[in-house]
Structure 1
């Protein structure tokens, strides 16, 4: 499947793009994962937002690219999600590679840290991420930090 990608700073997002992002994040994190939490954590303002649209221009995957000092001492990639419509079709791999590439373009060749859901560790290892630290609970889901150097 061909995807169109757009990466924008928060202040450059259109109202429609912001709505699509928040809708997809709610569909995945709140509804599918049954996780009640405040998604709007005030970090979005400082981040770039990577959106993948399908051929019909529907937002099907998203990640936010986070500068150092916001979530971790290192730059980061967060809120990594794919719509159930494209899961298992390679969209996640495309998204993560584009997010890594976007972070490198924005911040240079710096380490990237993520808070990965524990079940997804093997997926992130494909890109070179390595686990670091202990498993922790975030909103009822086991996570572990991973670093790409």
Structure 2
């Protein structure tokens, strides 16, 4: 899988469509979560895209400090279900962490992690902060890296 970073205005319509389709496929359909994915924040984000054979199979969006949380943040972390066995979640997160450090010039990152992925995010240096909470009906925990 190859990764790239694009600003919103650098995405072509086919890429944007594929990103939104993947997010909907996983967050809405697979996780049975009815929520407003198109939240008006994509225009502010850096989009970290993982492609394999020309297909988008992994994705995150990255925000500068103050755009989502006080710290820089990574969200909408998604890997196509059929591609999860290849470790692309770790690859896309490592590319996202690098984007925060190199593009945004900070090492402190806050995420809102689905609780079942705690061990995965711990392996990337994130530490849980505070109690578990529900976000769109799914248990989450706030996590910070580099603080």
Normalised to the residue count of structure 2, the TM-score between the two structures is: 0.97
C-alpha separation between the residues in 2 aligned to 1:71 and 1:18? 21
Deviation at 1:126, TM superposition (A): 0.6
Alignment partner, residue 97 of structure 1: 94
User: After superposition, where does 1:49-88 map in structure 2 within 5 Å?
Assistant: 49-54=47-52, 56-88=53-85
Alignment partner, residue 29 of structure 1: 27
SS of 2:48's equivalent in the other structure is strand
Q: RMSD across aligned C-alpha pairs, in angstroms?
A: 0.8
Number of residue pairs aligned between Structure 1 and Structure 2: 146
Alignment partner, residue 110 of structure 1: 107
SS of 1:37's equivalent in the other structure is coil
In structure 1, runs of 5+ residues without a counterpart are: none
Alignment partner, residue 139 of structure 1: 136
Alignment partner, residue 17 of structure 2: 19
In structure 2, runs of 5+ residues without a counterpart are: none
Give the ranges of 4+ consecutive aligned residues of structure 1 lying more than 6 Å apart after TM superposition: none
Equivalent pair of 2:27/2:33 in contact (CA under 8 Å): yes
Output one character per residue of 1:42-73: Cα deviation in whole Å (capped at 9) or x when no partner.
1111001011011x211100000111112210
Output one character per residue of 1:1-46: Cα deviation in whole Å (capped at 9) or x when no partner.
xx12111000111111100100000000000000000001111110
Equivalent pair of 2:72/2:106 in contact (CA under 8 Å): no
Equivalent pair of 2:7/2:47 in contact (CA under 8 Å): yes
Alignment partner, residue 122 of structure 2: 125
